[in-house]
Structure 1
């Protein structure tokens, strides 16, 4: 007997539940089956300028509310950011009406209340956005005022510091000028003091020399200085001249230059006839080449007393008085001309 060939198994039976779960471990009646939906011009409503959401069926709104809420929040936030950044009213965003998300899940569940239109969010937040814009503007103005106040304060501080620095510089310059003037005045005063002191010293020295001049006298008169102390030459045994020569005619009087005691009187070889007068301070005055001696050893004489006469005895080339000065009786003499000037005499 002939039998019929079995019919091929259908690849998918929509009315039978699948053995696989959707994700919750059990099969749910609201998880399909789904209808294939190809949107056409007849199934999509035209945009009418307002945000609208089609009615949803069953629990479709519960599932799509999260996505829709995120989109609305993002749109409102974008409008608020734009208003905060630009200070202008938010721009409404138009979106095409979308098919009921719930219809993608189930056509058998009862319809629920339609979700609030997207356009209502913009209209409801207009007042709040205006207030927010005003608050933002007020905050911006307050911030601007604070920044300007800080800038003015900083400028004032800078000007104050600059003024203080200028005043300090001026004060320092003035102090330096005063110090310089005081220094110059002090220098002038010191110079005047030094000049006055020098003048006073010179005056005192002149007075002292004048006083000494009354106590000292030149050894002879009508003379000519022919040789000075320190001159070199072969005619002197030491190689240089050791005294001061007063050339004068033979027989010219020789006087004691100061008061003292005669410690030597007689012949002295190359010095000829020599008289030594020792002063009170121990200085010895030698009078040499005399033609005659008028005093004796141990005799006290005063200033200007005659002690002998000019001659040409000893090692000489002509009549003159050879005068030597030996401080404290030393063998080495000093310049007689300088010594005479030190006691107020000018040979």
Structure 2
């Protein structure tokens, strides 16, 4: 503001002013100070410089600013009151209002109790929210872990159940296979036993055609001596005159000379199978005669196309022209030539 042209008032002694003449001091009495034109620096451009704080701004403390103004005014008053010298004009700079200085340079005001309480509450709420969030995260993690454990347990139980089921199925399969094998073996044994019994019964019904013999020729044996190119029967070599017996009961359908077969007897069984007895030295039956198993029907000889005495036996099922292996047929009747 503009400098005041009036003379400052002289403070009354004894008044209790913060700054003034006679004011009590803790550090001793006031000393007299009489400013003169020489002792007071001349103003520059009609204004006093105002010190700036570090950082370029005006002094932010309103208390210091007020103390400086009051001291300057009091000093001027004392100088004009206690001396006969003319008053000295003190030029003060035009300063903005204290409120504006406070507004411009004031530091950040301290928060009120309400603000502190609100901030504290907000901080507590934030802490509570953070704790709640942490709790939810932990709970979710525990739930996820629990679900994972449940799934793992369920998978392990399922795997164990599957393993048990597989083992049971495998055991059942093996038991079934074992039972089937046992059953098959039992059936085979029973069949074999039945066949043995049947053959034993047949053996009583069938017999070999001669005794004291040696097998010298088998069915299918190749050779140029046979017109078919192979041997068509089974040869029982025996001395001439050895008895020839009926293998099974039947009817004599042929008895006489048969070319390369020599003297031959054909015995037809009840199922139509023809048995040919060839190369006999003599025939002991006639056509139409019925014979039983073991009846003598002739004797071993060497008639026809032969190299020595023997019985040549052929088997013709159903009377067919082509014969079958007599060995197989005899074994089927329980006989082992």
Asked if TM exceeds 0.5, the reply is: yes
Paired with 1:186 and 1:254, the residues of 2 have a C-alpha distance of 54
Of 294, 297, 320, 2:310 maps to: 320
Of 159, 163, 175, 1:185 maps to: 175
Q: Counterpart in 2 of 1:122?
A: 111
Task: After superposition, give the CA deviation of every residue in 1:307-329 in whole Å (9 maximum; x if it has no partner).
Answer: 11111111111111000000111
Q: Counterpart in 2 of 1:41?
A: 51
Q: Counterpart in 2 of 1:153?
A: 143
Paired with 2:216 and 2:178, the residues of 1 have a C-alpha distance of 47
Choose 1 or 2 for highest CA Rg.
2
Q: Counterpart in 1 of 2:297?
A: 307
Q: Could you tell me the TM-score, scaled by structure 2's length?
A: 0.70
Q: Residues 52 and 59 of structure 2 are in contact (CA less than 8 Å); yes or no, is this contact kept in structure 1?
A: no
Paired with 1:332 and 1:169, the residues of 2 have a C-alpha distance of 68
Once the 2 structures are TM-superposed, how far is the Cα of residue 123 of structure 1 from its aligned partner? 2.8
Alignment of 1:2-41 (within 5 A): 41=51
Of 195, 198, 206, 1:205 maps to: 195
- For structure 1, list consecutive stretches of 5 or more residues without a partner in the other structure: 1-38, 51-98
Once the 2 structures are TM-superposed, how far is the Cα of residue 182 of structure 1 from its aligned partner? 1.0
CA-atom RMSD in angstroms: 2.8
Structure 2 residue matching 1:172: 3-state secondary structure: helix
Q: Counterpart in 2 of 1:31?
A: none
Of 217, 221, 245, 2:211 maps to: 221
Q: Could you tell me the TM-score, scaled by structure 1's length?
A: 0.68
Q: Counterpart in 1 of 2:127?
A: 137
Task: After superposition, give the CA deviation of every residue in 1:266-285 in whole Å (9 maximum; x if it has no partner).
Answer: 00001000000011111100
Q: Counterpart in 2 of 1:28?
A: none
Q: Counterpart in 2 of 1:89?
A: none
**Structure 1's 200 and 308: CA in aligned 2 closer, same or farther, altered over 3 A?**
same
Q: Does 1:242 align with 2:232?
A: yes
Deviates more, 1:275-284 or 1:232-241: 232-241
Structure 1 residue matching 2:149: 3-state secondary structure: helix
Q: Does 1:194 align with 2:204?
A: no
Paired residue total: 255
Paired with 1:186 and 1:151, the residues of 2 have a C-alpha distance of 51
Paired with 1:164 and 1:325, the residues of 2 have a C-alpha distance of 75
Paired with 2:308 and 2:256, the residues of 1 have a C-alpha distance of 20
Alignment of 1:258-297 (within 5 A): 258-297=248-287
Q: Residues 220 and 232 of structure 2 are in contact (CA less than 8 Å); yes or no, is this contact kept in structure 1?
A: yes
Q: Counterpart in 2 of 1:335?
A: 325
- For structure 2, list consecutive stretches of 5 or more residues without a partner in the other structure: 1-48, 64-93
Once the 2 structures are TM-superposed, how far is the Cα of residue 237 of structure 1 from its aligned partner? 1.5
Once the 2 structures are TM-superposed, how far is the Cα of residue 153 of structure 1 from its aligned partner? 0.4
**Structure 1's 336 and 226: CA in aligned 2 closer, same or farther, altered over 3 A?**
same
Once the 2 structures are TM-superposed, how far is the Cα of residue 127 of structure 1 from its aligned partner? 1.6
Q: Counterpart in 2 of 1:29?
A: none
Once the 2 structures are TM-superposed, how far is the Cα of residue 47 of structure 1 from its aligned partner? 3.0
